[in-house]
Amino acid sequence: MAEPSGTGDFAALAPDAVMDCAERVAGRRASGVCRPLASYVNRVFEIGLEDGGFLVAKFYRPGRWTRAALQDEHDFLRELAAAEISVVAPLADAAGQTLHAENGIFFAVFPRLGGRPCDEPSRAEWLQIGRLIGRIHQVGAARPAAHRLELGPQASARTHLDFLRDSGVLPPEVAGRYLDAAQRLLDRIAPLFADVARQRLHGDLHRMNLLWRPDEGFRAIDFDDLANGPAIQDLWMLLPDRLPAARPEFERLLEGYETFAEYDDAQTRLIEPLRALRYLHYAAWCARQRADEGRRLLHPEWGTADFWRRELADLQRQADTIAAGI
């Protein structure tokens, strides 16, 4: 199989081609049902099968990940599934491969498993979510993701900031102030990450990436942003508020987590610095979507001077919050 060049075009994903891809991997015939599902970055389709049931075909955005980086994600998911942890692992074809390519676009096929998004967890559900994350981290700690970014001010954040600087997306009237504020913020928080243990993480574990099923509880989905980083990264985004307001929920989450994995209390101080890194991640993510016509129609303000002024103000407020807590 030729290595996709990263120049594949989502427009080429006609329903017949999508169903053919799913059939080749799963070895089952499609019924003719091919429905697009919501996805911010990739193209995802639900495929009906002649023998009943459904599959999900996921086509990864060209140029965003290398083959090796996607294989890291698939390997982690298969390790988690082998440990009977509630995730959705990609299906393997007859040759045992989970990652495939079609017209320059990487894709994978998954079983379709329903569920509802996590709303407001009860006390028992906070414990259950914590246990799920603890089990994920127990497996993740075995080895790093060799081809994934390291979350922190010296690695992933620098990558995002370099992209924003070099891509020309920042309007001239905002660029200097935004880049200066971001650089000063990264310099301030860098010492906090110096001796922090890092491991494989989900990386983007907010409530929309947890599905609840009555027969099995919570399931973690969407490991696209798999990374190496501090354990707290997979905990803080689930909280309903900042600390100390969300302290009761945080303590219940940790109670469940520590059933399976040890938590270093010193990592709690990284929550607000990680929130700042999230702002940079979001800004770079928006900038990378600017070429997507559908995204521009949905969010016409992206990339405007006003958009970047708001991003700058958010970054400055977060820097003040961090300074007050150091």
- Which domains does the chain possess? 10-113 (3.30.200.20), 123-325 (1.10.510.10)
pLDDT of residue 39: 85
Q: What is the pLDDT of residues 181-221, one digit of tens each?
A: 999 999 999 999 999 999 999 999 999 999 999 888 999 99
* Selected residue with higher pLDDT from 284 and 253: 253
Pairs from 235-239 (Cβ < 8 Å, separation ≥ 24): 235/133, 235/205, 236/271, 236/274, 236/275, 237/204, 237/205, 237/206, 237/278, 238/129, 238/205, 238/206, 238/207, 238/210
Q: How far is CA 310 from CA 166, 279, 305, 314, in A?
A: 20, 11, 9, 6
Question: Active-site residue 204, yes or no?
Answer: yes
Question: Active-site residue 162, yes or no?
Answer: no
Give the pLDDT band of residue 5 (cuts 50, 70, 90).
Answer: very low
pLDDT of residue 295: 66
| Spatial distance between the Cα atoms of 150 and 199, rounded to a whole number of angstroms | 9
Q: Structure tokens of 131? A: 């246990």
Q: How far is CA 70 from CA 20, 88, 106, 157, 312, in A?
A: 21, 15, 9, 20, 32
List CB contacts of 315: < 8 A, sequence separation 6 or more: 178, 181, 182, 185, 276, 279, 280
Q: Structure tokens of 94? A: 């007859």
Which SS3 state, helix, strand or coil, does residue 291 take? coil
| Spatial distance between the Cα atoms of 193 and 172, rounded to a whole number of angstroms | 32
Is pLDDT of 59 > 80? yes
Is pLDDT of 286 > 90? no
pLDDT of residue 285: 85
In the block, residue with structure tokens 């015939």: 29
Q: What is the pLDDT of residues 68-112, one digit of tens each?
A: 999 999 999 999 999 999 999 999 999 999 999 998 999 999 999
Q: Is the peptide bond before 244 cis (omega within 30 degrees of 0)?
A: yes
Q: Structure tokens of 220? A: 């973690």
Give the pLDDT band of residue 121 (cuts 50, 70, 90).
Answer: very high
pLDDT of residue 2: 41
Q: Identify the active-site residue in 75, 222, 225, 234.
A: 222
Q: Identify the active-site residue in 20, 72, 162, 204.
A: 204
β-bridge mates for residue 36, sequence order: 45
β-bridge mates for residue 102, sequence order: 105
